[in-house]
C-alpha cells in the first residue's frame, strides 16, 4: 500500500476587515458648483442684495432673490454657468431700472428660473408700459458678449426688454416673456420661445424657429429666417412676420402692415392683414395663403416679385394675386369695387390657375396677364374674364365686358363679349 501526504496552506485571518470604503464620487466631484451665497469663492453681495460673480465657474441660486436696487445678478467673468434652480429674481425698486441678470462677459449660460418685475400694459397713447422693478429681464447688450445661452427662463413685467442678447452667436431656447415695453426676445438663434404683449418687436433674431411673438407696437417676429412660427402685431404700420430671407410653415397676422413680408421666399405659410397685404415677397410664394380684408385698393392677398405657385390669394379690394413673374396652379380672388383690381394680375405667364373678381369696374379682370395665359379660368363681373396677349386652352367669362380679350386665342371658350385678334380651334 502506498500512502499520499496531504498539505494544507494557511488561509489568513477569518476576522472581517471592517466596513467597505466608499467608492462613488460626490456630486461636487462630478459637477463642481458654487452656491450664490456670501463667502463663496467668486461671489460677492452688495447691500442692495445684488449678487456679483467675478470668476469663471458653475453657480447655483439657493433661494428666491429680491433686490432693492440695481441688478439681481451681475456676471463680470467669462465662462460662467448659472442654474437658478427654479427660483425667482425680483426687484422692489419703485422706478424701473437695471436688470434681473446683467451679463458683461462671454461664454455664459443661464437656465431654469424666473424673473418677475412690475411693469404693466395700460394701452392707450403715450407710454403704454409702466411700473416698478427691472428695465430688462436678462441683458447682454454688447455684441462682444458672445456665446450666450439662455434656456428655460420666464420673464414678466419689464419696462424695456425681456431677454436682450446683442451677439449674433447667441441662443435663447424654451423661454417665455410677457409684458415688456420694448423687445421681447432678441438673440442670434431663438427656438421654441414665446413673447407676448411687447411694445416693440416681440421676437427678433437671425433664425427664429417654433416660436410665437405678439407685439402691440412693431413686428410680431423679425428675423432673417422664420420657420414653424406665429407672429402677430396690432400695430397699424408693422408686419406679423418680417423676414429678410425665408418664411416657412408659419402664420403671420397684422392689423396694419403685411401679414407676412419676406425678402426672398414664402413657403407653406398663411399671411393675413386687416389693412395691408396678406403676403408680400420680393422673391417667390409657394403653397401659401394670403388674405386681406383691407379697404385699400393697393392691398393684395399675395404679392410676389418673381413667382406664385400653388397658392391662394384673396383681397376685398386689391388684387387677389399679383406677381411680377409667373403665376401657376393658383387661385386669386378679389371682391374689389375699385378700378383696376384683378383676381390675378401677372407680368408674366399665368398657367393652370383661376382668377375671379366680383368688382363691377370695367378694368377689373378675372385674369390679367401681360404675356400668356394657359389652361386657366378667368371670371369677372365688370371687366374681362381674361385679358392677355396670347391665351390657350382656357375659359374666360364676363358679365360686363369680354370673356376673352387677347391678340391670339387657341382652343379657348369665351362667355360674354369677345375681343380676339386671331383665334384657332374655337367657334
In 3D space, the residue among 233, 219, 270 whose CA is nearest the CA of residue 248 turns out to be: 270
pLDDT of res. 208: 98
Burial class (CB in 10 A: 0-12, 13-18, 19+), 273: buried
Give the tens place of pLDDT for each residue, 215-256. Answer: 999 999 999 999 999 999 999 999 999 999 999 999 999 999
Q: Which three cell numbers stand for residue 51?
A: 449678487
Quote the cell numbers at residue 165. Answer: 442678447
State pLDDT tens for residues 47-93: 999 999 999 999 999 999 999 999 999 999 999 999 999 999 999 99
β-sheet bridge partners, residue 376 = none
Nearest 10 degrees: CA dihedral of 353, 357, 362, 364? Answer: -70
pTM of the full structure: 0.92
CA 262 centroid distance within chain: 12
* Model confidence at 3: pLDDT above 70: no
Looking up cell 385674369 gives: 367
Give the total residue count for the chain.
427
Say if residue 192's pLDDT is above 80.
yes
Distance CA 343, CA 340 (A): 10
Q: Is the pLDDT of residue 361 over 90?
A: no
Per-domain residue ranges of the chain: 32-218, 319-427
> What's the alpha-carbon Rg for the chain, to the nearest Å?
33
Given a cut of 60, whether residue 101 has pLDDT beyond it is yes
Tell me the average pLDDT across 157-178. 97
Q: Examine the pLDDT at 1 and tell me if it is beyond 50.
A: no
What's the pLDDT score for residue 165?
A: 98
Dihedral sign from CA coordinates of 113, 115, 121, 125: negative
Amino acid at each position: 500500500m502506498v500512502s499520499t501526504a496531504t498539505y494544507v496552506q494557511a488561509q489568513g485571518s477569518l476576522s472581517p476587515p471592517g466596513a467597505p470604503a466608499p467608492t462613488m464620487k460626490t456630486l461636487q466631484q462630478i459637477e463642481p458648483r458654487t452656491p450664490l451665497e456670501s463667502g463663496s469663492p467668486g461671489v460677492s453681495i452688495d447691500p442692495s442684495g445684488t449678487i456679483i460673480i467675478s470668476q469663471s465657474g458653475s453657480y447655483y441660486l439657493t433661494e428666491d432673490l429680491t433686490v432693492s436696487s440695481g441688478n439681481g445678478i451681475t456676471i463680470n467673468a467669462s465662462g460662467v454657468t448659472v442654474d437658478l434652480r427654479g427660483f425667482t429674481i425680483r426687484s422692489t425698486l419703485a422706478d424701473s431700472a437695471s436688470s434681473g441678470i446683467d451679463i458683461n462677459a462671454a461664454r455664459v449660460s443661464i437656465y431654469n428660473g424666473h424673473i418677475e418685475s412690475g411693469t404693466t400694459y395700460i394701452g392707450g397713447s403715450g407710454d403704454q408700459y409702466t411700473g416698478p422693478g427691472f428695465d430688462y429681464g436678462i441683458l447682454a447688450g454688447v455684441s462682444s458678449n458672445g456665446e450666450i445661452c439662455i434656456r428655460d427662463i420666464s420673464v414678466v413685467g419689464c419696462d424695456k426688454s425681456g431677454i436682450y442678447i446683442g451677439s449674433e452667436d447667441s441662443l435663447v431656447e424654451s423661454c417665455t416673456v410677457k409684458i415688456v415695453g420694448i423687445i421681447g426676445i432678441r438673440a442670434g438663434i431663438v427656438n421654441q420661445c414665446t413673447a407676448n404683449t411687447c411694445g416693440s418687436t416681440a421676437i427678433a433674431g437671425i433664425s427664429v424657429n417654433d416660436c410665437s411673438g405678439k407685439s402691440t407696437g412693431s413686428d410680431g417676429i423679425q428675423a432673417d429666417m422664420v420657420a414653424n412660427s406665429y407672429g402677430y402685431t396690432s400695430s397699424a404700420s408693422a408686419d406679423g412676420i418680417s423676414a429678410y430671407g425665408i418664411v416657412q410653415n408659419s402664420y403671420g397676422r397684422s392689423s396694419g402692415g403685411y401679414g407676412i413680408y419676406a425678402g426672398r421666399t414664402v413657403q407653406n405659410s398663411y399671411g393675413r392683414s386687416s389693412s395691408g397685404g396678406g403676403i408680400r415677397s420680393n422673391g417667390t410664394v409657394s403653397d401659401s395663403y394670403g388674405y386681406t380684408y383691407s379697404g385699400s385698393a393697393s392691398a393684395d392677398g399675395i404679392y410676389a416679385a418673381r413667382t406664385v405657385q400653388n397658392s391662394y390669394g384673396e383681397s376685398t379690394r386689391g388684387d387677389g394675386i399679383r406677381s411680377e413673374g409667373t403665376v401657376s396652379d393658383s387661385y386669386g380672388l378679389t371682391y374689389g369695387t375699385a378700378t383696376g383690381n384683378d383676381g390675378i394680375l401677372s407680368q408674366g405667364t399665368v398657367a393652370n390657375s383661376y382668377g375671379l373678381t366680383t368688382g363691377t369696374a370695367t378694368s377689373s379682370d378675372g385674369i390679367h396677364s401681360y404675356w400668356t395665359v394657359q389652361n386657366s379660368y378667368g371670371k369677372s363681373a365688370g371687366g374681362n374674364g381674361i385679358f392677355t396677349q396670347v391665351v390657350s386652352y382656357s375659359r374666360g367669362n364676363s358679365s360686363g365686358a369680354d370673356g376673352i380679350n387677347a391678340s391670339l386665342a387657341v382652343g379657348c371658350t369665351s362667355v360674354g363679349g369677345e375681343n380676339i385678334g386671331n383665334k384657332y380651334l374655337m367657334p
